[in-house]
Structure 1
């Protein structure tokens, strides 16, 4: 048996009650089911942030039943696995249907990956237990942890820290970070201050305070129940009111844009017939009529610019010069050696500016593991799939913006727009920060799954964090225009060929999140956890409880 953290015990009778009964395996099964239910908080569920608040309150209430850091970690890990295996099941579609991996191996890979991701909520729950566990409730029942103010702050801080680690370690995978479900929820207004992890911190705090209020109400301590509930209501009101704050302001005149969705099937995208069809289709769509900016999806033309047919390249250049249209074309990049060989292929965007022969280039920096680069020791795994772009070179972390009619445009590709700190860093370091964000993706890898709506939801979070509109250009969906307040103003149906024509207002100025990034949330969380660990109620006094762990 492993001793749990120190607890304040009141007399021998309380000490006897303090040894809680072993937790049933059904406790962990319920935590797993709760995690699976949390997937419904995310897109495409409308206003799922309210559901997520209720689920997180249930999660925290479930954690208060644990008897030490081990059982807390198992509870958090079960919740995380349930959430992530049901939330990213579309990876099976990528690996099996498009990567041609055998179904049993694809299922095993999905389960193992979800188990890895579940380590982070397990870490958060264990950290909360170590920093906030105490026996304020020991005098009246056998629960080792009682909801308190410092316990609520520690839960919020541990949860935010765990999600940040999940989004950072081994290049990071912040998909389904809890803050994303709040895009249409009560805490969306905090995105401009603390980013997606700050929103998750506020969510976890509010959930824990609701449990604290309910606990005090059951104990017939009415006044003690009132204050945490009032704080939650105040936080909700603040989150709703903050969405009305104009952190950025319009800059110059609106741009006319056209965003193209070619709907090229993934299974034919890289074969000769598919490339030929894409060249014909996008040439026709691009040159249909003028706009200040015309954007294609990621690798719309899966060739190097040097490999573009001369007629195609000349047609685009002539159209840009004659109409004053700027073009952003998704294609492949490479370094040309002195002997004419192509090395260090990149996933790139090329920009054509009217009446200049300079070609803008953006190279994707944050690559997808196993899809665009192969982690050390995993080449055998990638060889089990049929992936045409398996090991690419990286672009620089911060690259220059593309300029359209004197207005800078920041470009990123697919996976990169789920890393808000990197976009904020680019805006923070720019001498003339961009007023519009552009993301180009090829979501055909995920088929007709919830991944499409989840990706759009994350793009909306980027607009809330930065106070800037975003143009999402995708191959099969979801192509959209999102304004600076996170509202989708235009959207094409998935798996259709078409285009969006819109006017987009560039913005200037900085949100607090652009200025400080994740620093505020991380330093604040570490400070609160250290305070809870050092000065939490009951540390260093009385007896100790036995951690039941897993039975």
Structure 2
């Protein structure tokens, strides 16, 4: 912000816009640079085009930060103009959209979980952690204390009242989040043992017949047959072939294995056909089934799982073997096992807490635990692994539910309902993580209001605060 002050003093708002945009561009590109690996190393896109794509995404996304700086600078005009203050929030530490929610681009969630804001997620979710870092410009002038001086009336301004309402709502939310109550809802059934598989199949071989495909089928097949845990979980596309493409007898043997009492399995594999469309799915095998359980990924990844309109020319430059998938519904049934309602989600679907909250619309059918199946191998040994683990931890805090993570390369982990990693496999290793978890039964305030209204209350509160601040600015308060 110090660099913006000369622009502020002289009224050269264009400089403020440019400086803020360049700062945010470098910061954002440096936090999701791993997209370059998926596009160039594994996707086969030209290196220069891959760099340009990452920079273009960062440049477009960070226009919001530059606009805030422009408003702040333009609102401090000189040379006879009445000084105006920007009604948009300014960020003392430049937090971003979804930073507190555990964005794949920003490490806001781990920082929030180490502070008192870790009590907030059950009420306002990661959004509340982000809001706690915001500092509106001129906040000292918005709220004038009674001893604020004789030159101004000793009364709160409209902007100060808006901030007070926001703080009161935050404190109320903190109270409703029950941070100090010793009584917690009883767990859903007894502790359930689980085995999480991490195959560490190299991404550049994973879909290659004769190498990665054979290795995947062999290792995951052996583990699914040999493990004796009540629940065995294999990651996204652990079996990289459609059921009809598997070796003869392979799928029938797995179904027969988990038709026996006492055990069940969740594993990732593609499903579908050319007529109905293909899906990136999780399949559940358990005793007494008429048909295997099925969850189809809803929030697909652009370019990796579906091709956005007008971008087929871009996809033709890449060599990613999985293309257009069909999305599943937002609210799909849970996988029922020994009193637990397990809600699968695939890859970065757990970034979107408002979509996971749709499963809490019916409290009787609300999930007792989340199961994330991921293949982070697309991004190599980068910070993407840590960022995705932080995302899962924030979802555990928001919903007070344990999260089981089964991944190809990491981070394969068990997270309890307080967002703590209780067990974890080393990244980029092949192994099986054995542990246990307790499902949750309570409905957090966040799950309740988002399941009913989505993010509309947050949008409404933001609009009211901006309007109140804008009114205060026009009145010269």
> Is residue 2:45 matched to residue 1:101?
yes
- Are the aligned partners of 2:402 and 2:437 in contact in 1 as well (CA < 8 Å)? yes
When the two structures are superposed, what TM-score results if normalisation uses the length of structure 1? 0.72
> Is residue 2:124 matched to residue 1:194?
yes
1:430-460 CA distance string (max 9 Å, x none): 6410010011110000001111101111111
1:127-162 CA distance string (max 9 Å, x none): 6778xx579xx9xxx99677xxx96x8447xx99x8
CA distance 1:442–1:88, shift in 2 (3 Å): same
> Is residue 2:387 matched to residue 1:464?
no
Q: What is the CA distance between 1:355 and its match in structure 2?
A: 3.1
1:380-434 CA distance string (max 9 Å, x none): 1111111011211111121111111132111110021111111112223564100
Structure with the higher fraction of residues in helix conformation: 1
- Are the aligned partners of 1:248 and 1:467 in contact in 2 as well (CA < 8 Å)? no
Whole-angstrom distance in 2 between the partners of 1:96 and 1:257:
36
Q: Give the paired residue count.
A: 452
Larger deviation, residues 190-199 vs 436-445: 190-199
RMSD of aligned alpha carbons = 4.1
- Residues 10-409 of structure 1 aligned to structure 2 (within 5 Å): 27=3, 67=11, 73-125=17-69, 133=75, 154-155=89-90, 163=97, 175-176=105-106, 178=108, 181-205=111-135, 249-273=186-210, 274-335=212-273, 343-409=276-342
Whole-angstrom distance in 2 between the partners of 1:126 and 1:467:
40
Gaps of 5+ in 1: 1-22, 29-60, 168-172, 214-218, 222-226, 336-340, 542-551
For residue 155 of structure 2, what is the aligned residue in structure 1?
A: none
Larger RCO of the pair (alpha carbons < 8 Å, separation 6+): 1
Q: What is the CA distance between 1:475 and its match in structure 2?
A: 0.3
When the two structures are superposed, what TM-score results if normalisation uses the length of structure 2? 0.82
Q: What is the CA distance between 1:299 and its match in structure 2?
A: 0.4
- Are the aligned partners of 2:401 and 2:440 in contact in 1 as well (CA < 8 Å)? yes
1:475-519 CA distance string (max 9 Å, x none): 011101111111011111111011111111000121111112333
- Are the aligned partners of 2:13 and 2:70 in contact in 1 as well (CA < 8 Å)? yes
> Following TM superposition, where does structure 1 have runs of at least 4 consecutive aligned residues deviating by more than 6 angstroms?
61-66, 127-130, 206-213, 238-242
Gaps of 5+ in 2: 144-148, 152-159
Larger deviation, residues 366-375 vs 194-203: 194-203
For residue 407 of structure 2, what is the aligned residue in structure 1?
A: 474
Whole-angstrom distance in 2 between the partners of 1:202 and 1:72:
25
Q: What is the CA distance between 1:81 and its match in structure 2?
A: 1.5
Whole-angstrom distance in 2 between the partners of 1:243 and 1:98:
45
> Is residue 2:460 matched to residue 1:523?
yes
Whole-angstrom distance in 1 between the partners of 2:299 and 2:39:
20
- Are the aligned partners of 1:179 and 1:198 in contact in 2 as well (CA < 8 Å)? no
